[in-house]
Amino acid sequence: METFEELRALARSFIEKEVRERLPEYEAKEEFPWPLVRRMAELGFLGVVVPEAYGGVGLGYRAYLALLEEMGAYASLRSVMSVQQSLVATPILAYGTEAQKQAYLPRLARGEILGAYALTEPASGSDAASLRTRARRVEGGYVLSGQKTFISHGNVAELFVVFAKTDPEQGARGITAFLVERKDGVRSTPLKGKLGLRAADTGAVYLDEVFVPEDRVLGREGEGFRIALSTLDVGRLSLAAGSVGIIRRALELSLAYAKERHQFGRPIAGFQLVQEMLAEMKVDLEAARLLVENALAKKEAGERFTLEASMAKLFASEAANRAAYKAIQIHGGYGFFEEYEVARLYRDARIATLYEGTSEVQKLVIGAHLTGIRAFASPHPGLSQDGGPERRA
């Protein structure tokens, strides 16, 4: 596999031959689709951004985002790729030691283990700096205690990027990132009954006096909040690309249905108000793609892309919800039944405006960049005035 166009073709074949037929059974049972995930690993989908030197495909983020668009309409599977690469492999690549990269990246890229990003807590969501998980220094490392929730891969991951406070008095500057293995003593429980992403694993994660060796600190002590925010930039960009995939699929299904469904003696595609909805979906699709491309261009140039990632995530996630809503309107009563794919698109689109920063948080990030003034009542140390992580040598 040498180009992202080959990767796109591989993804389309995988969707046609395996995903469309098999994913619904896992969705219906709220069961993690291990056979499909293992197949994605075989195809190289879990290591697109990981360099070949560390066992990955090494095609980079442009190819990765193209793959996420292709898989975006199958969000339970897209989620696996996003967590594995945007939220786990990316921070290890950016902040890990050579030993950490050698230890974890090949296994992540080959799908031998799955990873999880453990930031959110029961009392700490958008206000991530207020997390309560503690890391106490002891001889040879740290002891972690706390609870995380809404953790993707919480029950299937063997590796967790865990954020904990090593110095609570320092606020955001007192947060440190750790590479924690399940065998260290991590416990988890499933969180079932989700509106969407029904085949994706979500769990509550418990750290009860878990010892983590000193050589598994990711980055430097006190650098965790910076790592969390920079990682979320990539996560938001990946969600935007996945949302483009939802819009595209909603439009494809709506066009096909509108042409075949006849009412009043003609296809409903000929009705003005149906054409209006289709036109709006098409405009949203192209606009979302361009915002993703804009953010990607900044990233590829080595420039900071926090603003661009937030704009892409905000617009694309909201547009995905609009497109899924219109797709059901076009399908009418049939769209309300699970037999038609648009019902799942509608459910899956909803989470995109919530995780990795709600739409409201994205607006505040954008507003902070525009005005130079953060809207949060109590600014956290470690954040610059424009809402992004401070740059430190």
Give, as one character, the DSSP assignment of residue 103. Answer: H
- Structurally, the chain folds into a number of domains equal to 3
Instruction: Flag whether pLDDT at 2 surpasses 90.
Output: no
What integer best gives the mean pLDDT of the chain? 94
Q: Are residues 188 and 243 in the same domain?
A: no
Q: Which residues are catalytic?
A: 356
Residue 135 is part of a domain; what is its CATH number? 2.40.110.10
Cα dihedral 166→168→171→177 (10° resolution): 20
What whole-number distance in Å separates Cα of residue 379 and Cα of residue 381?
A: 7
Q: Are residues 79 and 123 in the same domain?
A: no
Q: Are residues 13 and 85 in the same domain?
A: yes
In this predicted model, what pLDDT tens digit does every residue of 137-177 receive, in sequence order? 999 999 999 999 999 999 999 999 999 999 998 989 999 99
Residue 31's nearest CA partner among 190, 205, 206 is 190
Give the range among 44-48, 184-188, 381-385 with minimum mean pLDDT. 381-385
What whole-number distance in Å separates Cα of residue 26 and Cα of residue 51?
A: 32
Q: Are residues 237 and 347 in the same domain?
A: yes
Q: Are residues 85 and 107 in the same domain?
A: yes
In this predicted model, what pLDDT tens digit does every residue of 277-333 receive, in sequence order? 999 999 999 999 999 999 999 999 999 999 999 999 999 999 999 999 999 999 999
What pLDDT is recorded for position 381? 39
What whole-number distance in Å separates Cα of residue 194 and Cα of residue 192?
A: 6
Instruction: Flag whether pLDDT at 100 surpasses 50.
Output: yes
Q: What is the residue range of 40's domain? A: 4-113
Domain closes at, from 189, 221, 253: 221
What whole-number distance in Å separates Cα of residue 38 and Cα of residue 32?
A: 11
What pLDDT is recorded for position 380? 46
Q: How confident is the model at residue 1 (pLDDT cuts 50, 70, 90)?
A: low
In this predicted model, what pLDDT tens digit does every residue of 30-83 receive, in sequence order? 999 999 999 999 999 999 999 999 999 999 999 999 999 999 999 999 999 999
Q: How confident is the model at residue 90 (pLDDT cuts 50, 70, 90)?
A: very high
Instruction: Flag whether pLDDT at 383 surpasses 70.
Output: no
3 state DSSP class of 284? helix
What pLDDT is recorded for position 129? 85
Domain closes at, from 91, 113, 135: 113
The CA R_g of the chain, rounded to the nearest whole Å, is 21
Q: Are residues 231 and 357 in the same domain?
A: yes
pTM: 0.94
What pLDDT is recorded for position 5? 84
What pLDDT is recorded for position 377? 55
Looking at the domain assignment, is residue 390 inside a domain?
no
In this predicted model, what pLDDT tens digit does every residue of 252-262 receive, in sequence order? 999 999 999 99
